[in-house]
Structure 1
Amino acid sequence: MIKVKNLYHSYSNDENYAVYDVSFEIGKGEIFGFLGPSGAGKSTTQNILVGLLQLQKGEVEVAGYDIKHIKNEMFNKIGMSFEQSNVYNKMSGLENLEFYRKLFDVKTKDPMELIKLVGLDGKENIKAGKYSKGMKHRLTFARSMINNPEIWFLDEPTTGLDPAIASNIKDIIKQENEKGVTIFLTTHNMYIADELCDRVAFIVDGKIRLIDSPKELKLKYGEKLVEVEYFKDNILIKDKFSTVLEEEKDRLTDVIHNCDIQTMHTKEATLEEIFIKVTGRELV
């Protein structure tokens, strides 16, 4: 569904590249996470894929269309939810969606159903300019679905949302993906990426450092540990045991047989910990 080969982009039209020799492919029905800190090149890459930035160097194909020669039909197949909401403030939420659906040449979703889906029902007739930041973000998210996109570009889809609403948004993403929608997710939130993505790419300073599934990354870079809380001689002890080293496994066995276990759980590295290990950079 998406093919990118040797992509470069410079805002100053010189060799100061914001994106440097980026290559990847995304298959149909895949959720692909593009992960990195602010300024890493995530939005630049995404904006090239959706036609907001002109392709300077490289090869890019989206939904079967060559980005060098964009055709209007491509926009019927893609949806885009921006991190910064760009709604029409003088229109109501419902009017925003009604207006936007007229831009497409394909069957569109019922705007009122989308309003309800993102929890804005009862507020559909309020002007968007009076919406909170989170409400505008949900309206932008709903708008990105209106043309039933085959490829869905999501830029920080849960940013600024309270946990309950963010959970609802993640459920919607999962439901659309189950219908076969391909999703390109840009974020610096490793937790949402871990929960949703089939594969992730780590990008820093415009360069991709690695691409793999969250599971494989954890197996490759994560330590295999068990964290245990137990009482020994009436003292509560917290300890970690390797499940790889024989002496550590023997120690754990001894604790299990001879101590009063309070809690026990395996510990795996988070994507954020792996990102820092691989790139040497914090997610800021």
Structure 2
Amino acid sequence: MQVIQIKDVCKAFDQRQVLNNISLSVEEGEIFGLLGPSGAGKTTLIKMLIGLLSATSGNIAILGKELDKKIDESFPSFGMVLDNDGLYDRLNCYDNLELYARIYSISNRKKVINDLLEKVGLIESSKKSVSNLSKGMRQRLSFARAILHSPKIVFLDEPTSGLDPATTLQIHSMMKMLKESGTTIFLTTHNMNEAQKMCDHLALLNEGNIVEEGTPEDICLHHRKKCEVNIEMTNGEKYMVDSHDLLTVLQTVLDTNNKIRSIHSNEPNLEEVFIELTGRDLR
């Protein structure tokens, strides 16, 4: 089932075109990644998907409903983590979540909130003022707030940007947990490793245009011009060969009576593909 449908969407601010004829679909339960450098139009698109911006032209449907007509009905089905976290600095972690739990009319609020704080590693900081939280702690609290009401779709705009590796791993772990529960995730990122590791499906965005789309594996394989294989022998000798010559080289090195310690292929990654398609990197 397609839970997000974007068809021929354009967005312009005054005379500046930001998005050009974007058409995408997102399947239920997948992690969909929009990968591109800063200024490519990722945040603009995600703001359109959650109703903060309207399209200049084209159509967007969420859960089968046209967004511009049914935003009030669809909104409770969304969760979101944006650059502006919207947390209340004067409240503590627990009270921030309780405020939203009341808005969403969540029953058994105390248990739901404490369970979430436990999952995001903030239970010991539940009474800590948000103004005293680190960036990583704020991001984890934002994530907890985004999934507080068990939304069907969670929108994450650069959720690990500027975070330390440990916090990034925690965010990724929470994303996997959501996916396992059947939640659909729409992720924007300029981090190639994050996209390749986390996403089931990807669209590469550059200067407002989709330049490639597919699974991370298919995108990389589609743009593989050649496959190089690295061979390391037990005596320390190393060989790098084209896959077409692999059998000949293997026979040659094995005739020396040395044993192979390791053998692996060099595959193109998403950043190399992006550079090939656009002439620029992802930063």
Same fold (TM over 0.5): yes
Structure 1 residues 231 and 112, CA gap change in structure 2 (3 angstroms):
closer
Equivalent position amino acid for 2:74 in 1: M
Give RMSD over aligned pairs.
1.9
Question: Which residue, out of 202, 208, 225, partners 2:228?
Answer: 225
What SS does the corresponding residue of 1:17 show, helix, strand or coil? strand
Q: How does 1:106-185 map to 2 (within 5 A)?
A: 110-185=112-187
Q: Which runs of 5+ in 2 are unaligned?
A: none
- Per-residue Cα deviation, 1:243-284 (whole angstroms, up to 9, x for no partner): 2x2x34312332244245343222221111122122222011
What SS does the corresponding residue of 1:218 show, helix, strand or coil? helix
Q: Which residue of 1 aligns with 2:189?
A: 187
Question: Which residue, out of 209, 214, 218, partners 2:211?
Answer: 209
What SS does the corresponding residue of 1:72 show, helix, strand or coil? helix
* Percent pairwise identity: 35
Q: Distance in 2 between matches of 1:29 and 1:251?
A: 45
Q: Which residue of 2 aligns with 1:239?
A: 239
8 Å contact kept, 1:84–1:137: no
The CA deviation at 1:192 is: 1.4
The CA deviation at 1:133 is: 1.1
Q: Which residue of 1 aligns with 2:249?
A: 251
Q: Which residue of 1 aligns with 2:268?
A: 269
Q: Distance in 2 between matches of 1:138 and 1:257?
A: 56
Normalised to the residue count of structure 2, the TM-score between the two structures is 0.91
What SS does the corresponding residue of 1:101 show, helix, strand or coil? helix
Deviates more, 1:208-217 or 1:64-73: 64-73
Q: Distance in 1 between matches of 2:4 and 2:255?
A: 54
What SS does the corresponding residue of 2:271 show, helix, strand or coil? helix
Q: Distance in 2 between matches of 1:106 and 1:55?
A: 32
8 Å contact kept, 2:203–2:212: yes
Q: Which residue of 1 aligns with 2:52?
A: 52
Q: Distance in 2 between matches of 1:228 and 1:253?
A: 12
Q: Distance in 2 between matches of 1:154 and 1:77?
A: 14
Equivalent position amino acid for 1:249 in 2: L
What SS does the corresponding residue of 1:148 show, helix, strand or coil? coil
The CA deviation at 1:39 is: 0.4
Equivalent position amino acid for 2:94 in 1: L
Q: How does 1:9-158 map to 2 (within 5 A)?
A: 9-12=11-14, 14=15, 16-104=16-104, 110-158=112-160
Q: Distance in 2 between matches of 1:257 and 1:197?
A: 43
Equivalent position amino acid for 1:195 in 2: K
Equivalent position amino acid for 1:250 in 2: T
What SS does the corresponding residue of 1:114 show, helix, strand or coil? helix
8 Å contact kept, 2:51–2:71: no
8 Å contact kept, 1:63–1:151: no
Deviates more, 1:183-192 or 1:97-106: 97-106
8 Å contact kept, 1:6–1:23: yes
Q: Distance in 2 between matches of 1:218 and 1:55?
A: 31
Equivalent position amino acid for 1:198 in 2: D
The CA deviation at 1:40 is: 0.2
Structure 1 residues 112 and 257, CA gap change in structure 2 (3 angstroms):
farther
8 Å contact kept, 1:35–1:203: yes
Deviates more, 1:141-150 or 1:254-263: 254-263
The CA deviation at 1:189 is: 0.9
- Per-residue Cα deviation, 1:55-90 (whole angstroms, up to 9, x for no partner): 221100112221221332211101101134331111
The CA deviation at 1:34 is: 0.4
Q: Which runs of 5+ in 1 are unaligned?
A: none
Equivalent position amino acid for 2:119 in 1: L
Equivalent position amino acid for 1:221 in 2: H
What SS does the corresponding residue of 2:114 show, helix, strand or coil? helix
Structure 1 residues 20 and 93, CA gap change in structure 2 (3 angstroms):
same
Equivalent position amino acid for 2:7 in 1: K
8 Å contact kept, 2:39–2:207: yes
Q: Distance in 1 between matches of 2:134 and 2:222?
A: 42
